[in-house]
Amino acid sequence: MRQSPRRSKPANPRDDKSLLPSNKLSLRIISGIALAAGALALTYAGPLPFALMVTAFVAVMAWEWGRLVCSSGIDAAWAIQVGATAGGTLLAAWDCPGCGLLAIVAGTLAVFVLRRLDMGTAQSWWAATGVYYVGLPSIALVWIRSDPEFGWVAVLFIFITVWTTDTAAYIFGKSIGGPLLAPDISPKKTWAGFAGGLICATVLGSAVLIGVAGAQAWWPVIMLSAGVSLVSQAGDLGESSIKRLFGRKDSSGIIPGHGGVLDRVDGLVFAALTCAGLALVRAPEAPGYALVVWS
């Protein structure tokens, strides 16, 4: 007896592995655009809305750091870290960055002592490191944004340069491939991505300083944009080495398609500190001016 041909089971799109990369990329793009738009809107709204946004991110980053280095969650050490970093950030917003730095120092010591009660010395220091790793760049950004005339443009420059570095490095690395940049630290980063991120960020960062801020001296602008891109990529590699040390791929999964907040601001950490250092040298009384006015 002839058997009727078996009807094939309708394909389930979820079973098609080829769709996953494009879906993940779409999710990454959508969430990235949403985060960037929200961050830019709050940055433009003024120093206080910007400081409140940074403070909210600080709380999440403190949780992610504890989860990363000592597998802890929301506990007393987390509360101290959030209190110190958020308090330091708000003190900087209220025109007292020095007080904010004191809060970071006190928080670092307090977290170390608390973790030392049930952990070894090395792991306790790693836990305490999160206070200034999260707190110092947060204070730096809020301090730069506090400049009433140039703070908005200065933070815009930092954001655009870091975001362009990250995005262009991802696109160039994926499309070109080639030799790996640091295979022992981050096995997916390539020299093509490094170069693409550097070039694109230098162009767009310079465009912000010249087109928006009206900077006239080209060479300082180009060097600053390239320098911020370089330290941003160094920050990316730095956090990758920390995650590798503790056997983690992402700091969390709170941002769809991206991982955690720490995963997205690793370059911003180093860039913010570098720009704040430059502002301290050039014009500490006007940090935004120090970054964007070149004549």
Summarize pLDDT for 234-245 with one digit per residue, the tens.
Answer: 999 999 899 888
d(CA 42, CA 91): 18
Q: Which residues contact 276 (CB under 8 A, 6 or more apart)?
A: 140, 141, 143, 144, 287
Q: How far apart are the first and last CA of the chain?
A: 91
The reply to whether 153 and 242 lie within a common domain is: yes
Q: What is the model's pTM?
A: 0.88
The reply to whether 134 and 181 lie within a common domain is: no
Query: What count of other Cβ atoms lies within 10 Å of the Cβ of residue 254?
Result: 16
The reply to whether 73 and 212 lie within a common domain is: no
CB 268 within 8 A of CB 235: yes
The reply to whether 154 and 282 lie within a common domain is: yes
Q: pLDDT tens, 257-295? A: 678 888 889 999 999 999 999 999 999 999 999 999 998
The reply to whether 126 and 167 lie within a common domain is: no
The reply to whether 125 and 87 lie within a common domain is: yes
CB 240 within 8 A of CB 186: yes
Range of the domain at 90: 32-146
Nearest CA to 158 among 280, 278, 38, 32? 278
Query: What count of other Cβ atoms lies within 10 Å of the Cβ of residue 6?
Result: 6
Mean pLDDT calculated for residue range 195-215: 93
Q: What is the pLDDT of residue 12?
A: 47
The reply to whether 187 and 271 lie within a common domain is: yes
Choosing from 80, 113, 146, the residue where a domain stops is: 146
The reply to whether 153 and 295 lie within a common domain is: yes
71-75, 89-93, 168-172, 177-181: segment of lowest average pLDDT:
71-75
Count of structural domains within the chain: 2
Backbone angles phi, psi at 165, to 5 degrees: -55, -50
For residue 260, give both structure tokens: 């955690």
107 located within any domain: yes
**Partners of residue 186 on adjacent β-strands:** 182
18 located within any domain: no
Choosing from 105, 124, 146, the residue where a domain stops is: 146
12 located within any domain: no
